Structure 1
Amino acid sequence: MNKTRQPFAILGMLFLMGTLLLACSSDKEQAGNIAATTAPATEASVSPAVPAATTRSYTDYKGHTAEIPVNPQRIIYSGETYGDLTALGVQAIGYPLSMGEGQVFEDKLTGVEDVGFPINLEKTIELQPDLIIYAGIEEADYEALSKIAPTIIFNTFAPLKERMLEIGDILGKKPEAEAWLAEYGAKEEAMWAQLKAAGMKDGETASVFTYYPGDRLFVMATTGLSQVLYGEQGFKPSPAIQQVLDDDMGFQEISLEVLQEYAGDRIFLLTPVAEEAKQSTDKLLESAVWKSLPAVKNGYVYTQDITKTSSDATTREWLLGELPAMLGKQ
């Protein structure tokens, strides 16, 4: 009886062992399949991030292309509108300090190194800039500077809005530039409303004159104080000045004989820096031509230091407060 049951017991054990082996084999295959499908996802999840670019390609208005820093830190600025930088809270490491003498932004130049005018190449090399912004247009200057650091030729005579958006882009501060322009626009609108409430009439004309050494009289057009005066809500240019504006000229030399053609209902006379030019101005004020002008007879003549009427953003903002004060002194 026991001998008969033994073969069946052995067969049962063999069958059970075979089943266990098959199960183990199946589990290993499934584990392998799971590993095969999950391994790439695990590797992808720990792949290092692509580093952000530190430079970018930029083409200036003269057609030069350079690789400039995304966020420049050591800037040399050589041009008339340094106040564009200060309006955005930026300080250069180098600037022709003679250009800043007497300017509204002069107090912002503490710690800035003098690179001279014309720009001194040895001093530029010494400062180790990572970006040079240059207002000159000579190709030889550009070639020399671009060998020191990435160099941009910048149009400092462009209109304020265009210029601020461009310099904001160059400096990696475009949102700040847009915010500054919005705030400036609101202040400008408020200023004109204030002046009109004080008696400024629609359609009134205005002119800006100044002397340069050599007894040379100039009427200002697309630069300096004129840019503020001829705003959309502001004064109008006389027909003769409108022609200068249409020709996109910053200023034009005129003779005393045609002064009356350019003179507006209000005249702004810029006090020059050079002593010789100051003497020419004094001589003008004593002339019969000057005394015959309607603006002079009506007491609508205003004087301002020429260094306080630059086109840069910081000066432009300052003038929004100064202009009502000037007109209020009549």
Structure 2
Amino acid sequence: MAFQQDIISWYLSNKRSLPWRDTQDAYVIWLSEIILQQTRVEQGLPYFNRFLEAYPTVLDFAAATETQVLKLWQGLGYYSRGRNMLFTAKQIMELHDGVFPVKYDELIRLKGIGEYTAAAISSFSSGEAKAVLDGNVFRVLARYFGIETPINSTAGKKEFSELAQSLIHKEDPALYNQAIMEFGALQCKPKSPDCPSCPLQVSCFAKNNNLIPLLPVKLKKLTVKTRHINYFVCRDGDEILVNKRIDEDIWQHLYDFPSIETREAVSIYDEQFINNIKQNFGENVTVLPLVEIKHLLTHQIIYVQFFALSNYIINFNINAEAKWVSWADFDQLPQPRILTKFINNYFHK
């Protein structure tokens, strides 16, 4: 079919040189696929290199601690991916004797591996004819074939999945999958696609019907939550009081400072807020506001205020994970990016 051949020809002339494209090692491909979820290649590449250097095999990964994995992951966001990777590595040691599976039906049973990732790993590592369907592929198919069914609807997922599988290149599914994803990333981009040089422009439905900005269609169901987190910096000589987050929430199992979350922005002139601090840190505590930083996540806008405390008494139970650590030890612990930004830009150790 001309569609596949045109995309493959384009790919062979325009593809980026990326390290995970030079291997059929399922473990290495898995590393790249998980790290690049919700992440641009430019941002993810340094993380991929660091992880592969630290854990060259799935055996090495399975032997790591969660703290070590999250520290390497620090700054990449969506930390559940890192936790899931460690779980998966241990699964492979237990269920597959340390041999990374290469078949779709085995991969799809592993934690953190969905339909797209299983298709990518199986096709790239073993040549299994499973079509990948990520954001780039959705966009190419929606525009070229003029599909207006929302890509995040049940009907849309079924329609696109069936179409993608019908188009898979049986002789070289790995090459075709790489090609159509790269085509969407570089040529058929979300904004300002390079239509004048596109090899598919003559038969592209969206191009011929002025629908490029409108396709693909996606249902809007994202609700952005606003939060206010107030951090307290408690120092004792060269030590800082830190807290390991254990709740099912953002930054789970990362280390931050003791905090109080409030419904609205607060200040040292807010009587209820100050009383709350005194209940936890003693009646004679002194509160000094430091800085407020706005932190943007996909589903949340977080306003973070930092307060320095003095004359405090640590007589409260944050949770069993609260402890004093040296600054040197704190540097080795995984932290939310907002804390790293605060320490590097606004605070003197």
Q: Shorter-normalised TM-score: what interval? A: under 0.3
The structure number with the bigger radius of gyration is 1
Q: TM-score when scaled to structure 2?
A: 0.22
Q: TM-score when scaled to structure 1?
A: 0.23
